[in-house]
Structure 1
Amino acid sequence: MSKVGETTLVLDLSALAHNYHYLRSKIKPETKFLGVVKAFAYGSDMVVIAKKLEQLGAYYLAVAYENEGVLLRNTGIKLPILVLHPLASNFEGLIKYNLEPSIYSKNILTQFLAEASSKQLDAYPIHIKFNTGLNRLGFSESDLDFISDEIKENRNVKVVSTFSHLAASEDANEREFSLNQIAAFKKLSGALNQKLGYAPMRHMLNTSGIINYPEAQFEMVRSGIGLYGYGNEAAVDASLQPVATLKTIISQIHHIGPNESVGYNRAFSSQELKKTATLPIGHADGIGRQYGKGKGIVTIHGKKAPIIGNVCMDMIMVDITGIDCKEGDEVLVFGPDKSAESFAEGANTISYEILTAISQRVKREVKEG
């Protein structure tokens, strides 16, 4: 790892390729692969990741909102892009940039059909989202006739996929629930196919679903967190490679005497001689205040240095007592040798949160291997 002079998020595209090929090895060769790049590609770099996935052979990309898809189009991404949570106010831009909406409610369907009609679109691709138990977004069985009546003879749109989302695919204790979701989706998608008179492709599996329920891969699978190196269980994590490494440097070292305090509100008070290091990273960079007071731990020369006191906006202070280091030395927050999942566990949260929280002001560095 090269020497850093500032807080940097290093993105290893060879790790991304490894994860993509690993996940593909779990599905049939003919099954299509959708890469989820929402939230700046899980806090990394949406454009860099999308271009690499395009190169690797992904069939689709997915984002959460229209503006994320617009960013990808403006940087030359040609792959089909599914917008998972479109809003009616964004339909005009969505169509302008050839983005494909997830249609999840009567209201959204009615409004999108009106927009498609006003623009005289021809067989514009849409995706029908079914709610099979997550109870977040999606149509229910009682909506089937409404969907069919609105779409079947409508030449402005064409359903290119139906999909749903598993609620607990990583949890073996919820296997029965997941199997019931899969059965419900088969029933709903099959019924809609009959009503429409054609069969859109189907997709339901997320990363954990690819690993645990390959029999339900249908025509396409979706992966988000797995592409970035995390599989929601230790056995899978061992086969994946974290794409992002967050590192920083020591700005200043202090020697703290007994009864001295560190940081805002004197949240840390020393009972003995301590050596502390101040690092140029804080809650404005994604290291939230929940990691303060020893709950977050960084690594310096292979040794653990807990965060002490409160996390500041632009800085954290760590205990380096007993660590041989100097100002300017590199500090690892998370990466292949100390995963984002293990860093997040200290604050009782998950890898998704720390990864997606990394601020856009943090420098990104891309390497191929």
Structure 2
Amino acid sequence: MPKAQETVLEIDLKALKHNFEHLKSRITNNTKFMAVVKAFAYGNDACEIACYLQNLPVDYFAVAFVHEGVKLRKAGITKPILVLHPQAANFNILIENCLEPNLYNTKILNEFITIASAEKLTDYPIHIKFNTGLNRLGFSENDVNTIAFRVKETSAVKIKSVFSHLAASEDLNERDFTISQIETFKKITEAIATQIGYKPLLHICNTSGILNYPEGHFDMVRSGIGLYGFGNSEKENKNFKPIGTLKTIISQIHDIEKGQSVGYNRAFKTDAFLRTATLPIGHADGIGRQYGKGKGYVIINKQRAYILGNVCMDMIMVDVTNIDCKEGDEVIVFDSNTTAEKLAETANTISYELITAISQRVKRSFVEN
């Protein structure tokens, strides 16, 4: 990869393909694959990522909100797109763009059927989500009769899939709970298929579900974080390649005398001479203030340089006292070796939060190494 001359997130499309192929190797040929590209494809660029994946055997895409799906359509995505958390105010736009809604309670099911009927639609694909233990979104098991009645009395919609979400599939200490979710899902889906008279697609597995619970693969699986290079465990991470490398440069080097301070609120004060490097990346770029005061670090010439004081909006200062470096040198914030997961751990958070927080003002560069 070329040396950085500014702050840039380099995205390795071959690593993306590798991750997709590994996930596909863990499912049967008959199991469909849904690529989750919500939240700007976990901070990478949803349109670019989806356009690349569309040329691979991806069957479905998933986004969180309607406007995310609209952007994919405008970018040329023609495959089905599930909107995981649609709002009724956007149903007309959803329909105009041939997006498919997840309907998760009676209120939103009724609202969508009303609009679909008014538009004189026939068999418009909808997805029904059941809550099996995550307690976030979804119908309860007791709602099966209501759903079946509403769907059967109209020709405007047809259930394309029934799904749920595992709560702790990455934690094998919670295996009994996860198995109970899968068994509850089986019971629910058998009941609803019997009542509506046909079998929709069934899916419950996220990335860790794909890896840990083959008995839960059903007709389709969903993957987000796995596509971007993380397997949610030290063992599984070895099979994945993080696709993002966040780079920046050294803007300026300062010699700081004993007793001086660095940054806002004088949050760091020296007790001896040190040398600092100022980098053009800050909390407006996704490096939150929780990484300051020595918790987070970057890599300069293969050595760790710890963040000093508070993270600024557009800059951070790091300790380069014992690092041979100069202004203009490349800095690695995270890559496939010093991963986003490792950096996130220094601030007691997870890779998901770090990579999805990378601001869209940071330039994205796509490479195929």
Q: Which amino acid aligns with 1:100?
A: E
Cα distance between partner residues in 1 of 2:305 and 2:352: 23
SS at match of 2:73: helix
Residue pairs, 1:312-351, within 5 angstroms: 312-351=312-351
SS at match of 2:227: helix
Identity %: 60
Task: Give, in whole Å, the separation in 2 of the partners of 1:56 and 1:306.
Answer: 40
Provide, for residues 78-113 of structure 1, a one-character-per-residue CA deviation record: whole Å limited to 9, x for no partner: 010000000001101000000000010000000000
CA distance in 1, matches of 2:216, 2:133: 16
Alpha-carbon deviations, 1:141-164, whole Å to 9, x = none? Answer: 111111011001311001010000
| Paired residues of 2:252 and 2:327 also in contact (CA < 8 A) | yes
The reply to whether residue 191 of structure 1 matches residue 191 of structure 2 is yes
Distance, in Å, in 1 between the alignment partners of 2:356 and 2:298 is 18
Q: Is the 8 A contact 2:51 2:75 kept in 1?
A: no
CA RMSD of aligned residues (A): 0.5
Q: Gaps (5+ residues) in structure 1?
A: none
For 1:128 and 1:34, the matched residues in 2 are separated by 16
Aligned counterparts, 1:100-115, within 5 A: 100-115=100-115
Query: What is the CA distance between 1:5 and its match in structure 2?
Result: 1.1
The 5-angstrom pairing of residues 131-170 of structure 1 reads 131-170=131-170
Is the counterpart of residue 122 in structure 1 residue 108 in structure 2? no
| CA distance in 1 between partners of 2:79 and 2:17 (Å) | 17
Specify every segment of 5 or more residues in structure 2 that has no aligned partner in the other structure, as ranges.
none
Paired letter, 1:225: I
User: Secondary structure of 1:162's partner?
Assistant: strand
SS of the residue 2:182 aligns to: helix
Counterpart-to-counterpart distance in 2, 1:322 and 1:303: 9
The letter of the residue matching 1:88 is: A
| Alignment of structure 1 residues 270-289 onto 2, 5 Å | 270-289=270-289
Provide the secondary structure at the position in 1 that maps to 2:247.
Answer: strand
Q: Aligned with 1:349: secondary structure?
A: coil
1:229 matched residue in structure 2 = 229
Deviation at 1:4, TM superposition (A): 1.3
- 1:216 deviation in Å? 1.1
How does the TM-score come out when normalised to structure 1?
0.99
Secondary structure class of the residue paired with 2:42: helix
Following the alignment from structure 2 to structure 1, what is the Cα–Cα distance between the partners of residues 368 and 121? Answer: 41
Q: Deviations over 1:53-79 (max 9, x none)?
A: 111110000000000000000111101
Name the amino acid aligned to 1:234: E
Paired with 2:205 and 2:318, the residues of 1 have a C-alpha distance of 41
Structure 1 runs of 4+ aligned residues shifted over 4 Å read none
Distance 2:214 2:52 in 1: 25
The answer to whether the 8 A contact 2:208-2:232 is kept is: yes
Size of the aligned set, in residue pairs, is 369
AA aligned opposite 2:96: K
Using the size of structure 2 for normalisation, the TM-score is 0.99
